[in-house]
A and B are shown apart, each in its own frame.
Chain A
Amino acid sequence: MNPIDDDTLQAYVDGELDASDAARIDAALAHDDVLARRVRQARAVRARLRAAFDPVLDEPVPVRLSALLQPPSAQSTTPATSPVTLAGGHGATHRRWFVPGAALAASVALLAVAFWWWQPGGDLVRMQGGQSFAAGALTHALDKALASEPDAHAAVAIGLSFRSNDGRICRTFVLRTPPARAGLACHESAGWALPVLSAVTAPEGGELRQAASALPPEVQAAVDARLRGNVFDARQERAARDAGWR
């Protein structure tokens, strides 16, 4: 009988052999101690992985994940998504607004954020023709920063970049400086238009790390409404920057 190579033995262990090949190995196992040990070892690796990772199936799913799959109507009662936290955030409770009239609270918060932005000296946003545009450091980040080269210390974190269904290139961003805000910017001849910007609640002592993961529902909805095809990968993002976001 031919020696059994590693690929065949592995296929046997993983249940990938057809019945006749499997029966051939079954028969060989009875009198081949070396083969039997190889099978035991291959099975043990699989068993050890299952023992390590299967318990994840029984863990409670964090609210910040399950909340993303709530119907849009339910999402409006939880106006702020819990942003991604650094390691150690596991199991942390995220602040949510369990108050009656949460939608009203959300509107107030949005107004407050908008007011803060448009104050003199809040130079990250300018108004032009009734539309808000990025200014100052926000413009600089949208023009230059790449999500594929994140800077943990930058005040502006760039998330997704994609070509909108109206042909403009749009980018999501998060302002890390408190109070944290997230928004969507779309490039046009007058600059980076800001169709949406919104407050982000951070957990106590938490940090915003993944701009793409900290999108409030309003911003996510604005992305969903515009996204056609895929978001840019690192190469496409760089190419778009080099082409002036046109």
Chain B
Amino acid sequence: MNSSDAVREGLIPLLPRLRRLARALAGQVADADDLVQIVLERALARAAQWQPDAALDKWVFAIARNAWRDELRARGRSQHLFAPEEVGEMAADRASAQPAQQLELAMALAALPPDHREVVALVLVEGLSYGEAAELLDVPVGTVTSRLARARATLQAHLGKDT
């Protein structure tokens, strides 16, 4: 099996996790799936660069994170992915039994700078260890820890005392 086939077949079981990560990064369902599509295209185009002894999930998550950063740059919104009026749509397009809570969470996430949001997505949503996230982001573990602590403080402040 060549590397292209190995990557293609290896990505199939990773699709649900990739969609979850993209949702945590991009927010809106449509934006997140657009991001996944870009990630899959890039991963397939760069399959030859994947080393078979490297974990495919971390490799493709790194592509996802970089693609998301590219999208942010392309949109010229380095601080926030969404304009405030879009946050309401973001909550609205989620089928949720608790729209108010979802809106609250969406707004809290939208308030995070990209540095913080990606750490939240990788560690708290995807469940990577601090060390894995640090390697993926190419920053020291201490940087992951401090960004995560500040992100948590922001989220807690937005989500109220009950959380």
List residues of A whose CB falls within 8 A of some B CB.
Answer: 6-7, 10-11, 14, 16, 41-42, 44-46, 48-50, 52-54, 56-59, 61-62, 64-66, 68-69, 71, 84-90, 147-150, 209-210, 212-213, 215, 220, 223-224, 227, 230-231, 233-234
| Nearest CB on B from A45, distance (A) | 5
Q: Supply 7 A–B pairs (Cβ within 8 Å), ascending by A.
A: A6-B153, A44-B163, A45-B163, A50-B124, A58-B16, A148-B74, A234-B70
Q: Is the beta-carbon distance between B42 and A231 smaller than 8 angstroms?
A: yes
Task: Tell me if A45 and B17 are in contact (CB < 8 A).
Answer: no
- Beyond A10-B145, A50-B125, whether A89 also contacts B38 by CB under 8 A is no
Selected contact of A11 from candidates B9, B16, B24, B130, CB within 8 Å: B130
> What is the total number of residues of chain B having a CB less than 8 Å from a CB of chain A?
52
The chain B residues found within 8 Å of chain A, CB to CB, are 4-5, 8-9, 11-12, 15-17, 19-20, 23-24, 28-31, 33-34, 36-38, 40-42, 44-46, 70, 73-74, 89, 93, 102, 105, 120, 123-125, 129-130, 145-146, 148-149, 152-153, 155-156, 159, 162-163
Per the bound structure, the CA–CA distance linking A238 and B45 in Å amounts to 22
Contact A234 B73 (CB under 8 A): yes
Q: In the complex, A233→B73 CA distance in Å? A: 10
In whole angstroms, what is the CA distance A87 to B90 when docked? 9
| B89 partner residues in chain A, CB cutoff 8 A | 87
Residue contact B40 to A86, C-beta cutoff 8 Å: no
Besides A48-B159, A56-B16, A230-B46, 11 other A-B contacts (C-beta < 8 A): A14-B130, A56-B23, A61-B16, A68-B44, A87-B28, A87-B29, A88-B30, A209-B34, A210-B38, A224-B44, A231-B42
Q: How far is the CB of A214 from chain B (nearest CB, A)?
A: 9
In the complex the two chains form, what is the Cα distance from A11 to B12 in whole Å? 32
**What's the least CB distance linking A76 to chain B, in Å?**
15
Please tell me if the beta carbons of A90 and B74 are within 8 angstroms of each other in the complex: no
CB A9 to nearest CB in B, in angstroms, measures: 9
CB contacts (< 8 Å) of B44 on chain A: these are 68, 220, 224
- Shortest CB-to-CB span from B66 to chain A, Å, is 9
Contact A48 B130, CB 8 Å, known A90-B29, A213-B38, A224-B44:
no
When distances are taken between beta carbons in the complex, the residues of chain B under 8 Å from A44 are 159, 162-163
**Docked CA distance A176–B145 (Å):** 45
Q: What residues of chain B lie closer than 8 Å to A209, measured between beta carbons?
A: 34
- Judge whether A10 and B152 touch: CB under 8 Å: yes
CB distance from B48 to the nearest CB of A (A): 9
Complex Cα spacing A1 to B30, Å:
50
